[in-house]
Amino acid sequence: MKIARFKVGNGPAQLGAVAGGDVVSLAALDLGDDVVAAAMLEPAARQAALDGAETWALSDVTLLAPVARPPKFLAIGLNYTDHIEEGGRPAPEYPMFFNKQSTCVNDPNADVPIPAAAPDCVDYEGELGMVIGVECRAVSKADAASVVAGYTVINDVSVRDWQRRAQTMTLGKSWDGHGPCGPWLVTTDEMPDPHGLRMQTFVNGELRQDTTTDLMLFDCWDQIETLSTVCTLEVGDVIATGTSSGVAAYFDPPKFLKDGDVCRIEVENIGWLENRFVNE
C-alpha cells in the first residue's frame, strides 16, 4: 500500500491510501497522521479501513512528508561507484554515514530555499529512502528487511561549499528544507525488495541522474546492519541510501541549482518528488 500524509485545504494532517489518482482516507485506523504506525499494521487491517472511506483526487490535496520530524535523518555518502569516480575519490572500505538534521525535512512538492548565505553551490542528490518501523539494535543483514516500515523518495539537497567546511559534511547537508521526502511511503508488503529500481533525477526536464538501486556499494541491508551495530534505530528514523553520478558539482561547468529551477526525482514503483528551488 502507498500511505500518504496529506491535508485538504488548511485542514490538519491525516492519513490516506493512494490508489491511482485518488487518496482514500485511513481515518478509521485512528492513528492520526502516523504513517509508520499504519505501515506496520497487517495489510488486511489497512484494507478494511478503506471501506466506505472519504476519497479525494490527488490533485485536490497537499501531500506532506511521510515523517514530519524523524528521530534521526541518516544518510550515506559515496555509495554508488559512478558517483565515486566522477569525484575522483577512492571507494570507501566501510559505509560512510553522516547526519542531516531533522529540520531539513520538506514536503514532496514544496519550494526548497536556496540560502542567502550560500547561493551558488546548491546541489541535488536523488536517493531511495528507507523508514524504520521497529525500534532495534544489532540487526543482522539477514534480518534487516524486517525492521523497515517502507520506502520513499528523498532529495539529499547539498550546499557544497558548506559541505567542504567540515569533514562530517553535516553543515552542508542540514539546511532547513533541504530534505524533501515523499510523495508517500510504500509498505514492505507491496515492495519487499527495494533493490533493482530505476532512479532518475531531472532538472527543468533535463535528465541529470539515471541509475538502479542494485548498484549500491553497500546495499540497504548492509546499511541497517552497520547503523544498528552502533546505535538504536528508532521508529520513524529516515535513512537516505546514496546517490549516483550526475550531481551538479561535477558538470563542467557545474550546473548548480538557481532560482526557479525545478528538480524532479523519480524512483520506480514508488513515485516522485518535484520541488521548485527559490531564493531565500
Q: Are 166 and 245 in the same domain?
A: yes
21: in domain? yes
Q: What is the CATH number of the domain that holds 253?
A: 3.90.850.10
Q: Are 55 and 159 in the same domain?
A: no
Q: Are 187 and 241 in the same domain?
A: yes
Q: Provide the pLDDT for residue 167.
A: 83
Domain count of the chain? 2
Q: Provide the pLDDT for residue 166.
A: 82
Q: How many CA atoms lie within 13 A of 160 on its CB side?
A: 15
Q: Are 59 and 128 in the same domain?
A: no
210: in domain? yes
227: in domain? yes
Q: Are 121 and 257 in the same domain?
A: yes
Q: Are 129 and 245 in the same domain?
A: yes
Q: Are 185 and 95 in the same domain?
A: yes
The neighbouring-strand residues paired with 239 are 74, 130
Q: Identify the segments of the chain with pLDDT beneath 50.
A: none
Sign of the four-CA dihedral 16, 266, 136, 75: negative
264: in domain? yes
* Last residue of one domain, picked from the residues 11, 37, 63: 63
36: in domain? yes
Q: Are 232 and 100 in the same domain?
A: yes
Q: Are 102 and 204 in the same domain?
A: yes
11: in domain? yes
68: in domain? no
Domain that holds residue 188: 73-279
15: in domain? yes
- Express each pLDDT in 122-180 by its tens digit: 999 999 999 999 999 999 999 999 999 999 999 999 999 999 998 899 999 999 999 99
* Last residue of one domain, picked from the residues 15, 32, 63: 63
Q: Are 114 and 6 in the same domain?
A: no
* Last residue of one domain, picked from the residues 26, 42, 63: 63
Q: Are 153 and 182 in the same domain?
A: yes
Q: Are 52 and 81 in the same domain?
A: no
